[in-house]
């Protein structure tokens, strides 16, 4: 059986995520799979049998601890993905400015014109 | 080795008051050189009408840092076949009349010449004491990593580079205050480095952009860069001549 409160919380989180995507505030391909995985993990972890099975699979005696560790791993992965994407964006920005500088300096005459 | 084409690069951020005087001096002392002014996204408006000399100008859309401006200058020097790149500040603290000395030292089978500031340590204030300690630390760390002795003033922005040094340094994205990085890259790339002693002039206007926060950031970035350079390494570059 699933916990109703957890299901409502997950549902609200999905709605929030969809609104963020609709408002074009997030690049869906970037973080969406990770967030989706977090929601699924949140929903299934309200089931005691899943927690026990998951803990057994990881070899951890305390069930909830296994879920927390899995969640921390997902958060860590999403941080790394974001870090890579921010670095890419920054490098692209610098590359564009360098390209503009090359073009502008080659085309412009010496001052004073 | 003869150097026909010299590019003098001046990065500036909200520091235009001394530029007319610097441009006038450069045009007088090195009339055949090309002067490149890169405005690092200043909030103040650059007024070209106040400068009577001949120069090239580019404005970076937002403030990114001297290192990025240095990369742009390196791109320009490499693309247009310059033999030498001289870098100096826009605050008129670097002596323009010492540029020929930098260049003549570069001709002595050298890749990078640093103008070390002879009178930079004369100030007895506490902040100057910390600056000197950090400068000494940068120098020691860089020497230890590169296993060669380097310039005693690794924070000096007054320098001249030949094409080999430009190529080696332009492989990296330089930080906001890139001088310790440049020393590290040059020494790790086994470039021949020399230093000449200069007397830094007094600043007539404004203040240095390196405050305590910027100094801490610079310190942090320097160590991150050490980690990066140790992981990635440097590529040994060969001097190549460009026909233009």
- Dihedral of CA atoms B19, B100, B161, B53 in degrees, nearest 10, equals 30
Within 13 Å, how many C-alpha atoms sit on residue B96's CB side? 22
To the nearest whole angstrom, how far is the Cα of B70 from the nearest Cα of chain A? 11
Interface test mutation site (partner B, options A89, A92, A110, A113, max chain B beta carbons within 10 A): A110
Contacts of A98 in chain B (CB under 8 A): 71-72, 75
Lowest pLDDT segment from B69-78, B100-109, B182-191, B227-236:
B227-236
Q: Find, among B125, B176, B114, B120, the residue nearest to B150 by Cα.
A: B114
Q: pLDDT band at residue B111, thresholds of 50, 70 and 90?
A: very high
Stretch A2-22: mean pLDDT: 81
Per-residue confidence (pLDDT) for residue B71, from 0 to 100: 96
Model confidence at B131, in pLDDT bands (50, 70, 90)? confident
Maximum mean pLDDT: which of B52-61, B71-80, B198-207 = B71-80
Confirm or reject contact between B75 and chain A (CB < 8 A): yes
The pLDDT score that the predictor gives to residue B238 is: 44
Mean confidence (pLDDT) of chain B: 83
Cβ(B94)–Cβ(B26) below 8 Å? no
**Residue B204 pLDDT > 80:** no
Chain segment B85-102, per-residue pLDDT in tens: 999 999 888 999 999 999
**Mean pLDDT lowest among A47-51, A68-72, B143-147:** B143-147
Q: What is the DSSP string of chain B?
A: -----EEEEEEESS--TTHHHHHHHHHHH-TTSEEEEEE-S-SSPP-GGG--S-BEEEE-SS---HHHHHHHHHHHHHHTT-SEEEE--SSS-S-GGGHHHHHHHHTTT-SEEEEEETTTT---SHHHHHHHHHHHHHHHHHHHHHTS---S-TT---EEEEHHHHHHHTTS---SS-HHHHHHHHHHTT--EEEEEE-PPPP-SS--S--HHHHHHHHHHHHHHHHHHHHH------------
CA atoms of A55 and B129, how far apart (whole Å): 57
Mean pLDDT, rounded, for A82-91: 90
Interface check B101 vs A, CB under 8 A: no
Q: Which of B27-36, B47-56, B70-79, B142-151 has the highest mean pLDDT?
A: B70-79
Residue B65 has pLDDT above 60, yes or no: yes
Q: Give pLDDT, residue B158.
A: 93
Give the ipTM of the model, two decimals please.
0.75
Question: Would the CB atoms of B56 and A91 count as touching at under 8 Å?
Answer: no
For chain A, give the longest Cα–Cα distance. Answer: 79
Measured between CB atoms, does A107 come within 8 Å of chain B? no
Contact A111 B76 (CB under 8 A): no
**Residue with the two structure tokens 């590019």:** B7
What pLDDT does residue B79 have?
Answer: 93
CA angle (B68 as vertex; B62, B71 as ends), nearest 5: 140
Q: Is the dihedral of CA B163, B169, B174, B180 positive or negative?
A: negative
B141 compared with B73, residue with greater pLDDT:
B73
User: Tokens 């826009």 belong to which residue?
Assistant: B90
Confidence of residue A97 (pLDDT cuts 50, 70, 90): very high
Backbone angles phi, psi at B42, to 5 degrees: -65, 145
Structure-token match 């070209």, residue found:
B48
Q: How many CB atoms lie within 10 A of CB B13?
A: 21
Q: Tell whether B8 lies on the interface with A, counting CB pairs under 8 A.
A: no
Residue B147 has pLDDT above 80, yes or no: no
Which chain B residue lies closest to A98 (C-alpha atoms)? B72
CB pairs under 8 A between A and B: 47
Which segment of A15-24, B18-27, B48-57 scores lowest on mean pLDDT? B48-57
Between CA A3 and CA B90 the distance in angstroms is 66
> Highest mean pLDDT: which of A32-36, B33-37, B45-49, B223-227?
B33-37
């Amino acid at each position: 059986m699933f916990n109703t409160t957890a299901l409502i919380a997950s549902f609200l989180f999905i709605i929030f995520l969809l609104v963020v995507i609709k408002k074009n505030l997030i690049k869906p391909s970037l973080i969406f799979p990770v967030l989706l995985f977090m929601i699924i993990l949140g929903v299934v972890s309200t089931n005691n049998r899943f927690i026990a099975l998951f803990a057994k699979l990881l070899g951890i005696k305390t069930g909830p601890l296994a879920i927390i560790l899995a969640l921390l791993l997902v958060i860590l992965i999403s941080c790394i993905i974001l870090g890579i994407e921010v670095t890419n964006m920054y490098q692209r920005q610098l590359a564009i400015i360098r390209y503009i500088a090359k073009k502008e300096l080659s085309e412009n005459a010496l001052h004073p014109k | 080795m003869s150097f026909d084409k010299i590019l003098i690069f001046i990065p500036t951020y909200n520091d235009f008051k001394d530029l007319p005087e610097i441009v006038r001096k450069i045009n007088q002392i090195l009339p055949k050189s090309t002067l490149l002014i890169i405005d690092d996204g200043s909030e103040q408006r650059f007024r070209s009408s106040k400068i009577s000399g001949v120069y090239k100008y580019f404005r970076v859309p937002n403030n990114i840092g001297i290192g990025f401006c240095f990369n742009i200058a390196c791109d320009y020097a490499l693309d247009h076949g310059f033999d030498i790149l001289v870098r100096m500040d826009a605050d008129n603290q670097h002596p323009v009349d010492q540029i020929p000395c930098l260049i003549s030292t570069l001709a002595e089978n050298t890749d990078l010449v640093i103008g070390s500031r002879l009178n930079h340590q004369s100030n007895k204030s506490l902040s100057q004491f910390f600056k000197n300690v950090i400068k000494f630390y940068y120098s020691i760390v860089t020497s230890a990593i590169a296993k060669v002795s380097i310039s005693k003033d690794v924070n000096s922005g007054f320098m001249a580079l030949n094409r080999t040094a430009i190529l080696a340094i332009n492989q990296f994205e330089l930080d906001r205050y890139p001088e310790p990085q440049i020393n590290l890259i040059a020494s790790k790339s086994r470039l021949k480095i020399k230093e000449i002693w200069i007397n830094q002039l007094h600043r007539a206007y404004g203040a240095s952009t390196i405050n305590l926060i910027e100094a801490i950031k610079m310190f942090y970035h320097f160590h991150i860069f050490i980690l990066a350079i140790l992981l990635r390494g440097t590529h040994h570059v060969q001097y190549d001549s460009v026909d233009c």
